[in-house]
Amino acid sequence: MPSMGKPLACLAGVRVLDLSQFEAGPSCTEALAWLGAEVVKVENPKGGDPGRAILAGPGASFYFLIFNANKKSLAVDLKSPAGKQLVLDLAAKADVFVENFAPGAIERLGFGYEAISKLNPGIVYAQVKGFGAGSPYEDNLAFDMIAQATGGVMSISGEPDGRPIKPGPTLGDTGTGMLLAISILGALFERTGTGKGQRVEVAMQDAMLHYIRLAFAAQALRGGPVQRAGAESVSGANPPCGIYPCKGGGPNDYVYVYTSRTNPEHWKRLLAVLGHEELIGDPRFATPEARHAREEEVNALVSAWTREHDKHEAMRRLGAAGIPAGAVLDTKELAEEPTFRERGILQVMDDPTVKDYCMPAWPVRHNGAPPAVTAAPLLGQHTTDVLGSWLGLSEGELEGLERQNVVRSSRQAR
């Protein structure tokens, strides 16, 4: 299956020195890579990004591949003085520097903001930490789930009478990475005018607040804490607004049906689809407030109809009538929906060891198509390429560095 689109040239010529690992940093730099930046992932020669060990099948890690498309890999021993010097030399040539090590680690390596910005005042120096400087937890480790716990996300997710739930999406990681990418791009744009770099930092806990602003708005109006609302919106809504059971009875045989308070037509259209035209205008259901007071009756009307249809048919009929409705699609159904591939939203990564890995690409279309996905790098695949093109090292110098185990190149990786 050929991928649609071409590589983008939005960030052509922008050099990103990427010392990040796992997901929060890599999702950020991958977005920059999809926009056309040259992203060089700096990895230790022994195993590389620890993400290379997660969800690993024969040949490669599905986790690593999905978060590191379109990047280059340079394997260098950061513990050797010669390796450290190489990274400093690369930082002097880079436009962007990204890291998400545990608190204090980047400074101990000698690559802290002071050191790097002195060397290269034009650099955009970007960091992800779990907690912000000044937070009581600034020295703590964090992973996706810790950010979702401490950033309020879990407290508003789950059934009203159940325990908090960790949402399936990795909002703590990718959600944070996206905000950092926005700030890096803003800083790069500013630099086109001023030539000056800047430091941008995001904490995963802080980033979560950005995604639950609806809950903060609800709390400002009604007091808090905001409670879990199951399938409904934490802002409160009038029924029908929820997940209704469909024919089939499987774990995802449901359809979401919503009628907006700001558009009274939704409810009338819905009654027509349900075959209850006689209720259009009936004062028992005519206003959002009335439907709220008769929530059980409203839900019974809707689910009596949804139970008679499978979720796809329900979505088709409700959607065609102009009612916001959506089938609860599972990951297998999404992977098998052909229009995602036709549109380039899912693309096959052409990795030398993992075949036919169909992964979500950058979903924004630029002039009609998402950017093309190219394979994530093998460990050290671009060591020679990058040290040659960024630093002008000769073949002989490169061989010397390899012999001393300062760097590892693709010749060794395969």
Q: What residues between 60 and 89 interact with a copy of itself by CB under 8 A?
A: 62-63, 65-67
Which listed range, 259-267, 283-291, 294-302, 390-398, lies at the site for a copy of itself (CB under 8 A)? Answer: 259-267
Rounded to a whole number of angstroms, the minimum distance from the CB of residue 388 to a copy of itself is: 25
Query: Of 18, 77, 144, 351, which one interacts with a copy of itself (CB under 8 A)?
Result: 144
Q: What residues between 305 and 364 interact with a copy of itself by CB under 8 A?
A: 315-316, 319-320, 322-335, 339-340, 342-343, 345-346, 357-360, 362-364
Contact criterion met (CB below 8 Å) for 384 and 391: no
**Which strand (E) or helix (H) includes residue 346?**
strand 346-349
Using CB under 8 A as the binding rule, whether residue 304 contacts a copy of itself is answered as: no
Closer residue to a copy of itself, CB minimum distance, 166 or 294: 166
Rounded to a whole number of angstroms, the minimum distance from the CB of residue 242 to a copy of itself is: 9
Rounded to a whole number of angstroms, the minimum distance from the CB of residue 372 to a copy of itself is: 15
Closer residue to a copy of itself, CB minimum distance, 83 or 240: 240
Q: What residues between 355 and 394 interact with a copy of itself by CB under 8 A?
A: 357-360, 362-368
User: How far apart are alpha carbons 132 and 114 in whole angstroms?
Assistant: 18
Which listed range, 8-16, 83-91, 274-282, 393-401, lies at the site for a copy of itself (CB under 8 A)? Answer: 8-16
User: How far apart are alpha carbons 272 and 227 in whole angstroms?
Assistant: 34
User: How far apart are alpha carbons 98 and 118 in whole angstroms?
Assistant: 16
User: Residues near 412 by Cβ (< 8 Å), separated by ≥ 6?
Assistant: 380, 402
Please identify which of the residues 77, 95, 144, 173 carries the catalytic annotation: 173
Query: Of 221, 392, 395, 403, which one interacts with a copy of itself (CB under 8 A)?
Result: 221
Which listed range, 80-88, 235-243, 286-294, 383-391, lies at the site for a copy of itself (CB under 8 A)? Answer: 235-243
Contact criterion met (CB below 8 Å) for 185 and 208: no
One-letter identity of residue 375: A
Q: What residues between 179 and 198 interact with a copy of itself by CB under 8 A?
A: 179-183, 185-190, 192-193, 198
Query: Of 24, 86, 87, 234, which one interacts with a copy of itself (CB under 8 A)?
Result: 234
Rounded to a whole number of angstroms, the minimum distance from the CB of residue 96 to a copy of itself is: 12
Rounded to a whole number of angstroms, the minimum distance from the CB of residue 92 to a copy of itself is: 21
User: Residues near 394 by Cβ (< 8 Å), separated by ≥ 6?
Assistant: none
User: How far apart are alpha carbons 228 and 159 in whole angstroms?
Assistant: 6
Residue with tokens 């000698």: 110
Q: For residue 350, indicate whether it is catalytic.
A: no
Query: Of 97, 101, 258, 305, which one interacts with a copy of itself (CB under 8 A)?
Result: 258
* DSSP helix/strand/coil, 42: strand
Radius of gyration, CA atoms only, the chain: 25
Rounded to a whole number of angstroms, the minimum distance from the CB of residue 350 to a copy of itself is: 14
* DSSP helix/strand/coil, 39: strand
What's the 3-state SS for 153-174?
CHHHCCCCCCCCCCCCCCHHHH
* Greatest pairwise CA separation for the chain in angstroms: 86
- Which residues are catalytic, by number? 173
